[in-house]
Homo-oligomer: A and B are copies of this chain.
Amino acid sequence: MSFSEQLKADAALIEARLQVVLANRADQPVTHAMRYSVQGGKRLRGFLVLEGARMLGVSEDRAISAAAAVEALHAYSLVHDDLPCMDDDDLRRGQPTVHRKWDEATAVLAGDALQTLAFELLCDPALGSGEVRVALVAGLARASGIDGMVLGQALDIAAETASRPLTLAEITALQAGKTGALIGFAAEAGALIAGADPAPLRRYAAALGLAFQIADDILDVTGDEAKTGKRVKKDAEAGKATFVSLLGLAGARARAAALVAEAEAALDPYGARALNLIEAARFVIARET
């Protein structure tokens, strides 16, 4: 199966798993908002979990709950990031954000419960022994908490009121937390489930995560609102430093390409088995949304 077919097939598997775990819950706006929030998207993080696992000989059946967990965690972060007190976004993936479709209280609660759901999903016995599942819980917690994603978000908020634009080192640290940490965990998770050395996948993911963010900044400048489904050029308009404002468009593209080469090199130990992950890295900087 080609990379793009695999990405679609995995997205469907993850969607199905999330809708199953969210079925038979209380008939309340918060539950509807949770189901709504986990729909759509490329599921790149979930794909990284499943593809890392496949590359190391673990079937989708065994790894699916970890992929769904990463996507539930990602969905929580989007719902809260869109809140009026945060990025105040009306659209996400071309649809009204949760606080616009319901209300702020429902968005806070749906995000909260999606985070909880992520950790609940990692308790699925199919993922492996208790030790393996605890390693997954600890890894997801580190990636998403105050040393990871939340820290990145906090640094992003601080940057908005800072007296000077961020330096390249600062924006790299910010993005390592905001998007890199969860992408890193997603790529490592397959190795944790397989009981394999996570170091190569960790190196791959570190380069991939940064390339992903640089590509996002490039899309902010060059992107088509109809395709991205969100208002573009927001950061640049707000006078915030981005990789493009710091490196220039050509410089940002060159840096992203170098990172993709770095990500590919990290997967050398796996030879041809790493083909889909290499394609994923190339896709990250070639995507239009």
With the chains together, A131 CA to B132 CA distance in Å? 10
A137 interfacial contact with B, CB 8 Å: yes
Count of chain A residues near B, Cβ 8 A: 51
Shortest distance in angstroms between A286's beta carbon and chain B's nearest beta carbon?
32
A130-B132, A142-B120 in contact; A113/B26 too (CB < 8 A)? no
Contact B134 A116 (CB under 8 A): no
Contacts A120-B142, A129-B130 given; indicate if A109 touches B153 (C-beta within 8 A): yes
Knowing A28-B158, A122-B137 are in contact, say whether A146-B108 is a contact too (CB < 8 A).
no
Q: Does A168 contact B (CB under 8 A)?
A: no
Complex Cα spacing A199 to B130, Å? 22
Contacts of A132 in B (CB 8 A): 130
- Judge if A150 is at the interface, Cβ distance under 8 Å: yes
Taking a contact as CB atoms under 8 Å apart, the answer to whether A120 and B141 are in contact is yes
Q: Could you say which residues of chain B place their CB within 8 Å of the CB of A86? A: 105, 108
Q: Which residues of B contact A85 (CB under 8 A)?
A: 103-105, 108
Contact A123–B146 (Cβ < 8 Å): no
> Are B130 and A116 within 8 A (Cβ)?
no
Contacts of A151 in B (CB 8 A): 25-26, 28, 30
